[in-house]
Amino acid sequence: MNRTRSGLVVLGVTLLAGCVTDPGYAPMDAAKGQYFGYVDQPNGDGGHTIRVVLPEVTQDPRSAFAHWERRAAELCGPAGYRKLVHTARRNMLMVPGYSPTGHSYEVMGDAWCNDPTYAPPAQPAAAPAG
């Protein structure tokens, strides 16, 4: 029975992995079930902490770095930024009795704007659902 259950788990994970697509460049939003993309927040040093997570199906893992750089440029504007990327990893899915399977690529780091007075343009408000 244990072997059957493990086989069903692997089958389920495989089917779910097939449903995951590359979100392109988009913000994460757990409330909408968007667990891949970017998220950022101000850090205590006057900069921004940026995290990018892309699914394993991403054609080029370097896309995660490109998304990180793009978000930093959006936050800091034309004057540029200084950066410290402190996390770059491939997250793995572990299922007992089976080989680890790739799950996602993650890049996280801090960006400090060269022009601390720059404010990114406001994002347009989302249209109400309905």
Q: Which of 103, 95, 82 is nearest to 5 (CA)?
A: 95
| Three-state SS letters, 17-52 | HHHCCCCCCCECEHHHCECCEEEEEECCCCCEEEEE
- Cα–Cα distance between 123 and 85 in angstroms, integer? 25
pLDDT band, residue 10 (cuts 50/70/90): very low
Mean pLDDT score, 42-59: 90
Tell whether the model's pLDDT for residue 5 goes beyond 80. no
19-44 pLDDT per residue, tens: 555 668 999 998 988 889 999 999 98
DSSP state of 56: T
Tell whether the model's pLDDT for residue 74 goes beyond 60. yes
89-129 pLDDT per residue, tens: 988 888 888 888 888 999 999 999 998 788 877 765 544 44
Which pLDDT score, from 0 to 100, does residue 119 have? 80
- Cα–Cα distance between 94 and 112 in angstroms, integer? 36
Tell whether the model's pLDDT for residue 8 goes beyond 50. no
Is the Cβ–Cβ distance between 48 and 72 less than 8 Å?
yes
Whole-model pTM?
A: 0.73
- Cα–Cα distance between 89 and 53 in angstroms, integer? 10
Is the Cβ–Cβ distance between 60 and 42 less than 8 Å?
no
